[in-house]
Amino acid sequence: MNAWNRFWKWYESKILGSIIIIAVIQFIQIPHMIWNADLMLEVGVISRVHPVIDWLLYSVDLIEIISIINIGMIMFSLVKKRIARKNQVSVKNL
């Protein structure tokens, strides 16, 4: 088994952990959305209170990159499994 197939076999066994990571990242988005709404409405309750808080809440957007990559890998894994299953069924029918 080559390294590529070993990686995907390992990754597929860890998909639940990947989904948990995605869920945590999405929950982190809630304070970010509230901060962003405060910024857009120029209320000033949360935004522009302290530069460190603003930086932390702004940087949450960068964490989304991990979630996007993770979802792409899960989708690729599921498509790969579906294709392998179809190939097995077509070979059995011959």
Whether 92 shows a pLDDT value over 70: the answer reads yes
Answer yes or no: are the C-beta atoms of 60 and 28 closer than 8 Å: yes
pLDDT on residue 72: 92
Closest CA to 36 of 50, 51, 47: 47
The whole-model pTM stands at 0.68
Task: Tell me the average pLDDT across 29-36.
Answer: 87
For the segment 31-55, the average pLDDT, to the nearest whole number, is 85
The pLDDT tens digits of the residues spanning 44-61 come to 888 888 888 888 888 887
- Torsion sign over Cα 22, 28, 34, 36: negative
How far is it, in rounded angstroms, from Cα 27 to Cα 50? Answer: 22
| Closest of 56, 63, 55 to residue 27, by C-alpha | 63
Do 70 and 16 touch, CB atoms closer than 8 A? no
Local confidence band at 94 (pLDDT 50, 70, 90 cut-offs): low
